[in-house]
Structure 1
């Protein structure tokens, strides 16, 4: 039996791999549901401190959605498709308490780039190419692309990318701020592991509050500063805070438990 998703845990890091290489790891309904379950399980696992998501093979992270599944939809079905995708995967990933790194290997197009943008940050291989080609199909990005891309690279560049439907390469993505790093493909997962190992040394409780505070600043009608103040205060009631401050005063490394 071939699974659409592979999930592997090692040393505090869960790596989720989209396993549809013959379809360039395209997202269909089944894959989105499996991704939801995999992310949920990793987030609820106390041993998992960081999640890395990538695509199987060397060609693609995710080369888009499975167009055949929605080509015959009307406007009501289209809206439901978008809403369900946000709920199960894209908004879900953005708001996870566990840090999520997208290891973008190859093409990240349409829903693939939208998944990468929903992650907390992105690292790309040198051969990566990214774009939102939806307008060439007579539709707009429906999994957060029109919102997250401007937040990451600015309104003008986002308008150009979405209106032209064109692709940018890894170096352009780096210069735009769409990705944090560009590395050789054979070094991609090792590089992401190195970042994950730095993250997992820190307090899971504090990181979860930081994610909430940062996300709040991008939500309409939400005061990010007030969210930060509340999150800052909450940290003082955790065992991680006691351990972190005690370790600092005792001049030793902290051993955080995520409590």
Structure 2
């Protein structure tokens, strides 16, 4: 079976499924490219209210990057294409205008944990664990494991994981606030959370996400300018400025 990242949209809920269970849903270059494409498409689809990210198979949500894909790369290509390229794609997911939920039904290691960390909230099964095992193969986290995760959990805990290789179980992840809920059926729990978004304003949830990202440093500059631009775009001054430009005259701004 070819590894893939599949998209399904039902009743306004988009589900992205990592489909490489024989290799613990490890990311391949094709899967990374698919995540990039799907993120772009979902961001521009007004019918989508929420995005759920899940993994196929019973053994892992995602075991990170496929070692066969990156181990053959030169140091330069590894840094430029694999690390920076993957970082850019994960950032696109993290900055999606739609609310996102990661369903951690089984182990999330390395890039798999970094992927789940890109989502707004996480729902986890009791038996699942989280880990950053990169140092065991002579590398370090490269898709925001030392950066975005440092904003989500205490730094000493992150050091436990990234330096000492310790795993975090579901209950500890819940106590740290890294996961929103521990559930025997995390996919069903995520779908119930997503369904509640039908009772909320799409624009309000989008702006709330922008405001939180501006506060926490997730693409802060763009978020601040997006919020400011949205406010000014609704003003009479903007309408007058555009009209004056089209009519080749000086604008008479009303100040409203």
| Per-residue deviation, 1:223 | 7.6
1:36 maps onto 2:36 in alignment: yes
- Report the Cα distance in structure 1 between the residues aligned to 2:105 and 2:219, rounded to whole angstroms: 36
Distance 2:148 2:211 in 1: 16
SS in 2 for 1:145: coil
| Cα distance in 2 for residues equivalent to 1:48 and 1:199 | 10
Name the counterpart of 1:212: 210
Q: List aligned pairs for 1:58-207, cutoff 5 A.
A: 58-80=58-80, 81-88=82-89, 90-184=90-184, 187-207=185-205
Structure of greater Rg: 2
State the superposition RMSD in angstroms. 2.6
- Unaligned 5+ segments in structure 1 are 239-259
Is contact 1:213–1:231 with CA below 8 Å preserved after alignment? no
Contact 1:101–1:123 (Cα < 8 Å) also in 2: yes
CA–CA distance in structure 2, aligned partners of residues 44 and 14 of structure 1: 13
- The superposition leaves residues 109-152 of structure 1 with CA deviations (integer Å, 9 ceiling, x where unpaired) of 00000000011111111121111111111111000000122211
User: Can you give the 5+ residue segments of structure 2 that lack an aligned partner in the other structure?
Assistant: 236-256
Aligned mates of 1:155, 1:162 — CA distance in 2: 10
**C-alpha separation between the residues in 1 aligned to 2:215 and 2:75?**
31
Q: Distance in 1 between matches of 2:27 and 2:167?
A: 19
| Structure 1 residue 46 displacement after superposition | 1.5
Query: TM-score when scaled to structure 2?
Result: 0.83
Aligned to 1:96, the other structure's residue is in SS state coil
Q: In the alignment, is the contact (CA less than 8 A) between 1:209 and 1:231 conserved in 2?
A: no
Aligned length: 234
- Provide the C-alpha distance between the structure 1 equivalents of 2:232 and 2:192, rounded to a whole number of angstroms: 26
